[in-house]
Amino acid sequence: MLARSAVRAALTNSRSFSSSAARQTKVAVLGAGGGIGQPLSLLLKTNPLVTSLSLYDIRGAPGVAADVSHVDTASEVNGYPADQLDQALEGVEVVVIPAGVPRKPGMTRDDLFNTNASIVRDLAAAVARVSPQAHVLIISNPVNSTVPIVASVLEKAGVFDPRRLFGVTTLDVVRARRFLAGVTNNHPKDTGVTVVGGHSGKTIVPLLSQTAYGKGLDQETWSKLVYRIQFGGDEVVKAKDGAGSATLSMAYAGAKFTDALLRGLKGEKGVVTPTFVKSDLFADQGIDFFSSNVELGPNGVEKIHPLGPISAEEQKLLDECLPDLKKNIEKGKNFVAN
Ligand SMILES: NC(=O)c1ccc[n+]([C@@H]2O[C@H](COP(=O)([O-])OP(=O)(O)OC[C@H]3O[C@@H](n4cnc5c(N)ncnc54)[C@H](O)[C@@H]3O)[C@@H](O)[C@H]2O)c1
């Protein structure tokens, strides 16, 4: 009797051990000392799907790590200084990259290209070298170009898997949901919006006609709302008056997307969200990266959803998006090729 219950207990223990072991997930944040990196690290520390957090920056990551590590959740936290990038990447399954400079008033995201392109390229090279199996989430702007840069670097190193590279466009989705709730007087939980295209000005295309509260808007309200979703980032840049761009809402959005990916990786079904990935949707027009609804699963990208029915106005937005997006993507690819 006793022996049998002991065996049963041992089996139960080993089963629960192996199932929790299967969910061990080490997440790295590169740029963890910055305006986005710090609150993002804090939010990831509170995510039970993250078991180990690896914080890297050229400035200040050990301090952020020491601070965040006191939060009373189970995950362990380690901070790495500038010369320990490889150590920071060892064994990571997910790498989130908010490293780089943010905008100042009057700047577009493309104005950041010169500085951020090389930062992202060098970090991608380290990922290719140390953790080539990792899922890589790009926050650094201009996302329309930095994602193709990372893809090209990984491709050159022979380790590119398009299912594991994501441009984080979640802030556009978060803004669209919040702003639509505001103009229609509803709760944001009821005003989810699919946002497609890219992550910059006119390349951001919200598909309001696909939502219950977005499809009945009059023309003027619709136009103002679309503009606000496309250029909402400028409101923050202007209000911060030279001190940077969105950091807190972006950290929230980055943590939200990371959580969606982690849920997909551990096998949850039906995790679908827009993200900027290598995509066939407009590849026949020479645009091989595009954000649309993507189902996330154990391998990362499981399925890229088509846009679905869109209105004539949204078709116009898309027509304006595509040429800009194409240029941004080519600029990123050329940077690595040259
Ligand atoms: N995807 C989005 O929706 C979105 C939204 C807002 C901002 N952003 C972008 O995120 C980036 C970061 O913004 P922020 O406000 O946190 O800027 P920030 O200047 O506050 O922080 C950037 C951090 O990156 C670090 N860094 C620079 N070079 C590095 C390198 N080689 N390796 C590691 N770390 C490095 C800096 O030391 C700094 O701590 C910007 O490019 C910004 O445009 C993206």
Find the farthest-apart pair of alpha carbons in the chain and give their distance in angstroms, rounded: 76
Q: State the distance from the centre of ligand 1 to the C-alpha of 244, rounded, in angstroms.
A: 10
Q: How far is the CA of 31 from the centre of ligand 1 (A)?
A: 6
Measure 168 CA to ligand 1 centroid, in angstroms.
13
Residue 265 sits in a domain whose CATH number is 3.90.110.10
Instruction: Choose one of 145, 167, 189: the last residue of a domain.
Output: 167
Whether residue 248 has its Cβ less than 6 Å from ligand 1: no
Does ligand 1 have an atom closer than 6 angstroms to the CB of 75?
no
Residue 304 near residue 274, CB atoms below 8 Å: no
Task: Clarify whether residues 29 and 138 are in a common domain.
Answer: yes
Same-domain status, 191 and 312: yes
Neighbours of 80 (CB within 10 A): 22
CA distance 94 to 150: 14
Could you tell me the residue range of the domain that residue 118 belongs to? 2-167
**Is the CB of residue 300 below 6 angstroms from any atom belonging to ligand 1?**
no
Q: Which amino acid does the sequence have at 87? A: Q
pLDDT < 50: residue spans in the chain: 1-3, 5-22
CA distances from 239 to 180, 229, 233 (A): 21, 16, 10
Predicted confidence at residue 23, as pLDDT, reads 65
Query: Do 64 and 105 reside in the same domain of the chain?
Result: yes
CATH number at residue 11: 3.40.50.720
For residue 116, the model assigns a pLDDT of 96
Please check whether residues 100 and 185 belong to one and the same domain: no
Residue nearest to atom 26 of ligand 1 (CA): 99
Q: Is 328 in the pocket of ligand 1 (CB under 6 A)?
A: no
Is 299 marked as binding a ligand? no
pLDDT of residue 238: 96
**264, 275 contact by CB (below 8 A):** no
163 carries a ligand binding annotation? no
CA separation for the pair 200, 5 (Å, rounded)? 61
Same domain, 143 and 244: no
Catalytic residue positions?
Answer: 199
The answer to whether the CB of 139 falls within 8 A of the CB of 148 is no
Query: Where is the domain boundary, 138, 167, 196?
Result: 167
Helices and strands (H and E) in the chain: how many: 10, 11
Domains in the chain, number: 2
- How many Å lie between the centroid of ligand 1 and the Cα of residue 58? 11
55 pocket-lining for ligand 1 (C-beta < 6 Å)? no
Say what the pLDDT of residue 338 is.
Answer: 81
**Is 45's C-beta closer than 6 angstroms to any atom of ligand 1?**
no
CA distance 121 to 68: 28
The residue out of 133, 167, 201 marking a domain boundary is: 167
Quick check: 244 and 102 in contact, CB under 8 A? yes
Pocket test for ligand 1, best of 29, 30, 36 (most atoms within 8 A of CB): 36
